[in-house]
Structure 1
């Protein structure tokens, strides 16, 4: 494979990575803005100020870009929530810390929350990604409920899916201002929902 040349002090692989980030940012803007929802190669390239040639150096299709955009956001949220969860002692404090971390991410950039939770954003790619994220969050919730030394029962798993689904719907409604709650009130409600208080 031929090495990419350095141009204006920037190595070729750095240019490719920078352009990929521009496309991911453009996709987040297209998918996550309050008026967003549709995405095309032409539109995302226009938003990123790149040509289609550069789109195809990083992505094989729009679905590939959508998946990568979703994965980038869900990875950020899972890292933040997992870190916050692991730093507390009681289950209540752990769950509240994780919820606060999620709210911090989606309130800091509401496009991220809309990408993850808004039901009007529908595609096979997003549906598959959301299902996988829900399964992961439900598994963590079920295990948290059951405790470290006990396997989660089918009832724990069923309750976890119910709670995670409720959390996603509540966060989507809050992002769209259909649930007028202050941040701390939202975090308290979500925490109570997840641990069944």
Structure 2
């Protein structure tokens, strides 16, 4: 006879018991079924770490990056990320509520997502377990979406952004790489879209 057939408890070594124990001790945080943030590691897992697990090749960008950098004055609690729109089945876009927080995924062509040198568009790894745009790339991404007729994203309000915190040369390089120089120049102009 097997131990559980006699009403005995499940051995403490079982994954189920360990998982429940880790959740109770807040060492794991459930994102969705089968996906957890790891609190055992240093630094502990963050909500953004789950983005690429929810959507393949997701890059944290837009409001999340600009807010975390102190550039966006009114950041959102929703985690914003971009996913590449390639040939084939389109990715699931839009809001994705989870038990750990809310994600909002926006689709852009891969050529826009990967425009520019990696050092200009991606933040250096500082213990993060996710791809994260630089603030300059996050602004270019936002402008791209606002200019796109397929996107519902509105233009960023210049008064809500502290542009002095951006590397303007990097911003120009990224705009050039994405073919967005005119859009950026028009937005930065005193009479530009705000």
Q: Settle same-fold status: TM greater than 0.5.
A: no
- Work out which of the two has the higher radius of gyration on C-alpha atoms and give 1 or 2: 2
Structure with the largest fraction of helix: 1
TM-score, reference length from structure 2: 0.28
TM-score, reference length from structure 1: 0.28
